[in-house]
Amino acid sequence: MEKRENYPEHIESKIQMTEPNEEIQICKGILVLKNKNGEIKIKGDIIYKWFPKIGAEFHGLLTSELKTLFNPFELNDYDLYFKDLKLGKVFITEKRYFSTNPNETIVTGVFKENLFLGDKTINVNQVYFSIPNFKSLFGNLTTFNNGNGGTRSRLSLENDKYNIEIDKSLDYDNKLRQLKNKGGFTILYGGLIKSKKGTLSITEKKSIFSCLDLFLTFLMGRRSSTIFHSGYCEKEKIWIDYSNKNNLTYKNAESWTLRNSINGIDGLFKEFSTLWKNENDRDFLKTLIHWYVEANNNSGFVEGSIIMAQTALELIYNWLLIEKGKLIKGSDAINISASNKIRLLLSHVKIKNEIPNSLTELNKLINSKKEDLDAPEVIVQIRNAIIHSQLEKRKKLLEITFEAKSQALKLYIWYIELSILYILNYKGKYTNRCSDEQFPGDRETDVPWI
């Protein structure tokens, strides 16, 4: 067996949180508000908050009256400085006076744009980052404590330009337990991006992280983003980006990933990155994964999520079979029924038209009808009953149980997940959400096209 010290060193997040939703202090001291009317000083700090809204804000004690800078005929935004460094444009959100001393005023404000500290014109060798609220992945071995400890934490990704290493926190289980109890946000992963071809500019940084964030969202089954990007040249920190990102409060989300394996995820990312290069394909991925996670998280409750899921499947049909595959041309591609679109898609990715045995309420619904229905037909009928407002459709919807609608949504999402995996040329195992096996590990199976 290979010695532990030959494995890579574990990467911890550069920014640590001791408990969920802990405010992170960015800087503290004398802040200066400026505009063309003058300047005033604030004795205070800048913090990164999670509630009620994610992002950086400043607050502190004014050293003079705010009216020094105020012009009632102009929009009153200001430039905020710290140690002669311009941090960005801000505006005041709250002003409070002390009842004991009316001459003392506490102000609070937010940034009009994202907060970025440092010189963004300097290219860097590597960028560290953090990930809050991300699911547990059983990764490859890393070492810590000078090689005396080891943990299965590492997810390694790469494409033609970048190497990406992502490590689960050494205290992941305890942090996740706290997160489940309190809700909200906590940092659970740290990571590092290195360019294969020299240094990274800010523009390149934005592009690769946009791609990575969407890929992580697909793995998670819920919106996920990297935060606190820190650019380094060798061991010197050049800048840090405190941009507000699209993360959501903690919620367990079901997805296709495996419990105890990351096999094949690196290959998925390479395929994902290849599609990302093309503007139209990139737009397809963004739109598709948007509808997927919204449906998967029941954002529109069951009925609304079914409509979202149908939208996702029709998008896949048009992109994969019509635009890329040119399976049908002309008006026939548009006029074909929704159920036939799904049948063609399922046939293409080698999925059977039958309803899985685990979806008992959907099977009951089929058996109660005199028609010869298959899975595509019955889920489209449910969707049509939802979106069409005629009396006949509303009556049909009332006859469909909540459980049957929930199972239709599950079937839709299963089709979407498998379609995305097919598009990304995945040939490994996945977790089948429609399996009738009791234990999660027993639901893991090969994708149907192999």
Quick one: average pLDDT of 107-133? 94
Quick one: average pLDDT of 172-188? 97
Per-residue model confidence (pLDDT) at position 73 = 47
C-alpha span between 357 and 363 (Å, rounded) = 8
Residues in the chain: 450
pLDDT tens digit sequence for 16-39 = 999 999 999 999 999 999 988 888
Q: Give burial (CB, 10 Å; 0-12/13-18/19+) of 389.
A: exposed
Quick one: average pLDDT of 380-389? 89
Name the more confident of 348 and 106: 348
Quick one: average pLDDT of 168-192? 97
Structure tokens at 160: 């033609």
pLDDT tens digit sequence for 52-84 = 989 999 999 987 776 666 665 455 678 999 999
Per-residue model confidence (pLDDT) at position 399 = 84
Per-residue model confidence (pLDDT) at position 427 = 96
pLDDT tens digit sequence for 234-251 = 889 999 999 988 789 999
Per-residue model confidence (pLDDT) at position 367 = 87
Which range, of 68-72, 80-84, 292-296, 367-371, averages the lowest pLDDT? Answer: 68-72
Where residue 1 falls among pLDDT bands split at 50, 70, 90? very low
pTM, two decimal places: 0.94
Name the more confident of 389 and 350: 350
Please determine, for residue 201, whether its predicted confidence score (pLDDT) is greater than 90.
Answer: yes
Quick one: average pLDDT of 212-220? 98
| Residue 118 contacts residue 238 (beta carbons within 8 Å) | yes
Where residue 369 falls among pLDDT bands split at 50, 70, 90? confident
Angle at 91 between CA 85 and CA 94, to 5 degrees: 120
Average pLDDT, the chain: 92
HEC letters along the chain: CCCHHHCCECCCCCCCCCCCCCCEEEEEEEEEEEECCEEEEEEEEEEEECCCCCEEEEEEEECCCHHHCCCCCCCCEEEEEECCEEEEEEEEEEEEECCCCCCCEEEEEEECCCCEEECCCCCECEEEEEEECCCCCCCEEEEECCCCEEEEEEEEEECCCEEEEEEECCCHHHHHHHHHHHCCCCEEEEEEEEECCCCECHHHHHHHHHHHHHHHHHHHCCCCCCEEEEEEECCEEEEEECCCCCCCCCCCCCCCCCCCCCCCHHHHHHHHHHHHCCHHHHHHHHHHHHHHHHHHCCCCHHHHHHHHHHHHHHHHHHHHHHHHCCCCCCCHHHHCCHHHHHHHHHHHCCCCCCCCCCCHHHHHHHHCCCCCCCHHHHHHHHHHHHHCCCHHHHHHHHHCCHHHHHHHHHHHHHHHHHHHHHHCCCCCEEECCCCCCCCHHHHEEECCCC
Residue 82's DSSP bridge partners are 31, 85
Share of the chain above pLDDT 90, in %: 76
Which range, of 74-88, 160-174, 207-221, 259-273, averages the lowest pLDDT? Answer: 74-88
Per-residue model confidence (pLDDT) at position 100 = 61
Which range, of 92-96, 181-185, 335-339, averages the lowest pLDDT? Answer: 92-96
